Amino acid sequence: MCKDFSRLFAGAVIAVGLALALAPAAEAGLGEGVDSVARDHAALRAHAATLVPMQAYDLHELMTADGGRVREYASRDGTVFAVSFSGRTMPDLRALLGSQYPDYVAAPSARRMNHKVLAINGPGLVMEVVKAPRGITGSAHVPALLPAGVSARELR
């Protein structure tokens, strides 16, 4: 009886360990707390980060290993309300968009796409991506989270 319990217990421990190892990593970004900037720093393998206090928000700028730049805009309460990026390749949008990523995936009818532009203009997510010969630029924000007096145009 004791051997059977030991095997059962060992099997359960292995199953839980595998489930944890195979589960997707929890990442945050747009719409999440400012602590998500540190997680994004790791997820994007950024090698440099700067913080620039602005009048109504804080600008966190990350430089990625491939020379890309990611900017995360956090309100005074610590919520990331916008992101922008530029570089040779597309950054990890799952990490940057965080809880808004499902809105990005579910918005194919809202996308206007040609060879160079992707645009989503919904109530929960506004996003634009432009592909140029030398790289990609893009931005995304949650309209309801923009601080008073902040225009989406200044978040590039």
Helix and strand numbers, DSSP H then E, in the chain: 4, 8
Task: Specify the pLDDT at position 11.
Answer: 36
Span 38-91, pLDDT tens digits: 565 556 666 767 888 999 999 988 888 888 899 989 998 889 999 999 999 888
Do 86 and 134 touch, CB atoms closer than 8 A?
no
Single pTM value for the model: 0.72
The 8-class DSSP code of residue 25 comes to P
pLDDT, tens digit, 9 for 90 and up, residues 111-143: 555 656 788 888 899 999 998 888 999 999 999
Radius of gyration over every alpha carbon of the chain, rounded to an integer in angstroms: 19
**Predicted local confidence at residue 81, as pLDDT:** 94
The domains of the chain are located at 28-146
User: CB pairs under 8 A, 24+ apart, for 88-94?
Assistant: 88/134, 88/135, 88/136, 89/135, 89/136, 90/129, 90/136, 90/138, 91/44, 91/64, 92/43, 92/44, 94/27
